[in-house]
Amino acid sequence: MGERQTLSDLQSSTVANIAIILMVSVLAIIHLKAVIQPLVIAVLLFLLIRPAAQWLEERPLMQKNYAHPLMPYGVLVALLFIVLWMASQILYSNLTAFTDEVPVLTEQLNDKVAWLEGISVMGYSFDTSGLTELITVETINEYIASFVGSLASFTASAATVLIFLLFIILEAETLPRRLKAAFPEDAARIEGITSNAGEGINTYVVTRATVALGQAVVAGIVLWYLGVPGWFMWASITFMMDFIPYVGALISLIPPIFIGLIMLSGPQAIALILVLVANQQAWGAVVEPQLAGQRLDISPIVLLLLVAFWGWAWGVMGMVLGVPLAVIMKIALESDPRTRPIALLLSQDPKPVEEE
């Protein structure tokens, strides 16, 4: 049975050190984004592909004398970048097609607004001035261009990510031995943090990617069947936004529903809304509670605050990276007795010391 910790046990030097580290980290995250963001993405990619690479290393083909130890990593990285390149080409084509449809959609929106203003219920008519000022087709187009621009900025830094990833893969072979030689007392703890972080990130990414892909495929098929322009683009945005906990998937439904209300008939528009909302709720209700609670064991409000911070610092890409970084942060805090109480505060269902 461990000793119960109190607030008075937390030394002021520990609090000061944490505050200094946080301040320096925030300044570095903001002002060194061009270097830190590709490095973070490379580290997360390495933790994600490492289990698959280790599995490939055990295959008979990789046991041949001519097989290089880095071959499994090279195969996985090449496949990943090929998929990203193909998706970016289709996404750009869909964005161009949707931009060409903006004048037609704007005219259809004006017709719908005029029809809505002409409706009178018990002497009262609809005032649509606030609606048209809040959201327009041009606003949707600007939102999409901004989103695709964020992805394009990541693509532009893909070479930097690849270089970082290559050196991380090379360092992974010798770094554990150097850590044991330099810090024999802390080497086991550092390896435990890396192992737990890799396992947590893999669990999160695989589960979330499964949910996001299933939801995006269903949404894309429905939008394609109804003839909504840019259907692949909306499906891609649904996939990406689903990595933002709780609010991302719901926000991604707004633009395609708005476009559907403009161009579809009443029954079709209602069917579109019902199918998209039911699709999001069906996938989210089955997996998301398990993902955000028992598996990650991070408080929902903490997740939202961290996602908001990373969104402020790095935009959409930061919001996507926020949860994996939160997993690493919590695991690192749990590894040190001095910061373990902070990790317990971040947990959704913390276990008291007596139960460990």
Q: What is the pLDDT of residues 66-83, one digit of tens each?
A: 556 677 777 888 888 788
Place of tokens 């939801």: 215
Q: Six-digit token pair at 46?
A: 């390495």
Q: Do residues 56 and 74 touch, judged by C-beta distance below 8 A?
A: no
* Residue 128 confidence (pLDDT): 60
* Residue 22 confidence (pLDDT): 78
Distance CA 336, CA 339 (A): 6
Chain-centre distance for alpha carbon 52: 21
Closest CA to 198 of 44, 10, 41, 58: 44
* Residue 221 confidence (pLDDT): 92
Q: Give the pLDDT confidence of 193-236 residue by residue, as tens digits.
A: 777 766 777 777 777 777 888 889 999 999 888 888 888 888 88
Distance CA 41, CA 164 (A): 9
Helix (H, G, I), strand (E, B) or coil at 3: coil
Q: Do residues 233 and 95 touch, judged by C-beta distance below 8 A?
A: yes
Residues in the chain, pLDDT under 50: 1-2, 292-294, 354-356
Distance CA 261, CA 202 (A): 39
Name the DSSP class of 147: H
Q: How many CA atoms lie within 13 A of 285 on its CB side?
A: 6
